[in-house]
């Protein structure tokens, strides 16, 4: 374990051990952040979530020096009076709790809006009232669609980065109409960002807002029918992993033309660690955290994952590895999509000197190796089981 006295921040100042109240610690990002904080720093974690399966190895693991610095509280922040007390006990609050799978945005818009706005309100309020620093997880979806997507298809301006690079302090937030309920999530996240920003401006709240751009890696979401509901629709990494594990074609929504930049979770966690330990450089800022070098269309992602999965599993790729499906059939009424998401990295680079490292190929290779190791046997058993007639 790192010695507390040896740790210094980016300005050479000693970093004092702190107690972090991490809300949503049992999720994908939370599990990686807990692991990193416990293994590389002396900080303590009050881990709040309704689930803890993804951090069980830390809570009950053999390494007691890790386990004694994390305390799990099974709390639903919607209605639990213990929340304020736990915030008061900590030096820093990190809020990751959210409904954040696109399949929910248009089918459960009320739950989505409550989760991403209403349920986050007490967290902001308690931080503000008790002078606690807050790192709040927002999303790159607050940018919505690019300006370029409204230009004619053959316009040369579409090639101009000014029309698609997403900048924290300049880009507008462009959402679809109200009946496109997909934007319920982005809109709720935008409003909580504005509220936090206003708490900073009017009441002096010390805050940092993180806008993740498609962070992916092990433990993301669930594999339907194995460690999540059979009919559940997780985010694209788990959807495609599920299809590869079952040797079914990968479904390309509306032809898979949308573009994304994917970043390896371990690179992204490095950025969050810098925010945690450098408050003087991170407070008052909104940070894009993504990898602008890893851009692909969803179709290219599917092709790459098929090739890599064949390599890591030793099975031949399917003859027809993908199939097209309409968004209405896949997600239902009210779905809409972000066309392109490339983060501008100027602010995070200037404030924290951070850059992502891992290529898309490498991050998919290590993630699909994990998916194969974790799920292939369980899937084989499910497939072999005769279905009840
Ligand atoms: P996740 O779903 O794996 O984690 C969220 C966790 O919050 C879950 O463990 C869930 O049980 C918990 N939670 C939700 N509501 C709660 C409540 N009322 N009380 C207690 N716990 C609750 O998602 P993630 O990918 O780890 O995302 C974390 C945050 O980052 C979210 O705010 C999300 O909007 C944001 N984000 C993530 C990505 C990404 O690429 N993974 C992209 C954009 C934004
Ligand atoms: N997508 C797809 N097939 C799937 C799952 C998702 O084509 O099985 C597409 C989805 O329409 C979107 C992209 O993949 O264009 C990324 O989806 P994800 O769920 O990861 O979330 P988003 O990046 O939209 O927030």
pLDDT digits (tens, 9 = 90+) for 176-225: 999 999 999 999 999 999 999 999 999 999 999 999 999 999 999 999 99
pLDDT digits (tens, 9 = 90+) for 92-120: 999 999 999 999 999 999 999 999 999 99
pLDDT digits (tens, 9 = 90+) for 333-346: 999 999 999 999 99
Ligand 2 closest atom vs CA 250: 8
Cα 332 to averaged position of ligand 1 atoms, centre (Å)? 22
Ligand 1 pocket mutation, candidates 74, 96, 138, criterion most atoms within 8 A of CB: 96
Gap between the Cα atoms of 73 and 64, Å rounded: 18
Q: Look up the pTM and report it.
A: 0.97
Which residues carry out catalysis? 185
How far is ligand 2, taken at its centre, from the CA of residue 235, in Å? 6
What CATH superfamily classification does 98-376 receive?
NAD(P)-binding Rossmann-like Domain (3.40.50.720)
Question: What is the Å distance from ligand 2's center to 236 Cα?
Answer: 5
Q: What residues flank ligand 2, with Cβ below 6 Å?
A: 102, 141, 214, 235-236, 239, 251-253, 256, 258, 260, 298, 337
Residue-averaged pLDDT of the chain: 96
* Residue 4 reports pLDDT greater than 70: no
Q: pLDDT tens digits, residue range 220-246?
A: 999 999 999 999 999 999 999 999 999
Q: Which atom of ligand 2 is nearest to the CA of 235?
A: 19
Per domain, the residue ranges of the chain are 98-376
């Amino acid at each position: 374990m790192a010695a507390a006295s040896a740790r210094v921040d980016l300005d050479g100042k000693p970093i004092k051990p702190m107690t972090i109240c991490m809300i949503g610690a049992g999720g994908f990002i939370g599990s990686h952040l807990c692991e990193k904080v416990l293994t590389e720093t002396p900080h303590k974690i009050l881990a709040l979530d309704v689930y803890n399966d993804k951090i069980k190895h830390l809570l009950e693991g053999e390494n007691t020096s890790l386990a004694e610095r994390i305390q799990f509280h099974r709390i639903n922040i919607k209605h639990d009076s213990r929340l304020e007390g736990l915030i008061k006990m900590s030096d820093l609050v990190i809020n990751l709790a959210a409904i954040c799978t696109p399949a929910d945005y248009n089918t459960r818009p009320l739950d989505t809006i409550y989760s991403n706005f209403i349920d986050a309100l007490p967290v902001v309020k308690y931080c503000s009232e008790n002078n606690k620093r807050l790192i709040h997880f927002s999303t790159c979806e607050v940018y919505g669609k690019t300006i370029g997507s409204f230009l004619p298809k053959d316009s040369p301006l579409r090639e101009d980065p000014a029309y698609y690079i997403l900048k924290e302090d300049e880009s507008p937030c462009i959402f679809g109409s109200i009946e496109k309920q997909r934007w319920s999530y982005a809109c709720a996240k935008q409003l909580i960002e504005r509220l936090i920003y206003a708490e900073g401006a009017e009441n002096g709240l010390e805050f940092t807002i993180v806008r993740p751009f498609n962070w992916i890696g092990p433990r993301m979401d669930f594999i339907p029918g194995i460690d999540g509901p059979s009919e559940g629709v997780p985010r694209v990494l788990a959807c495609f992993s599920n299809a590869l594990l079952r040797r079914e074609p990968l479904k390309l929504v509306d032809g898979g033309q949308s573009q994304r930049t994917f970043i390896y979770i371990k690179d992204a966690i490095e950025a969050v660690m810098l925010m945690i330990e450098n408050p003087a450089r991170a407070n008052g800022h909104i940070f894009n955290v993504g990898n602008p070098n890893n851009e692909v269309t969803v179709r290219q992602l599917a092709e790459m994952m098929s090739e890599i999965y064949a390599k890591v599993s030793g099975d031949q790729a399917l003859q027809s590895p993908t199939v097209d499906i309409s968004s209405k059939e896949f997600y239902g009424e009210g779905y809409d999509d972000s066309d392109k998401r490339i983060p501008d990295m100027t602010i995070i680079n200037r404030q924290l000197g951070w850059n992502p490292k891992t290529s898309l190929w490498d991050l998919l290779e290590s993630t699909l190796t994990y998916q194969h190791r974790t799920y292939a046997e369980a899937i084989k058993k499910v497939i072999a089981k005769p279905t009840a007639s």
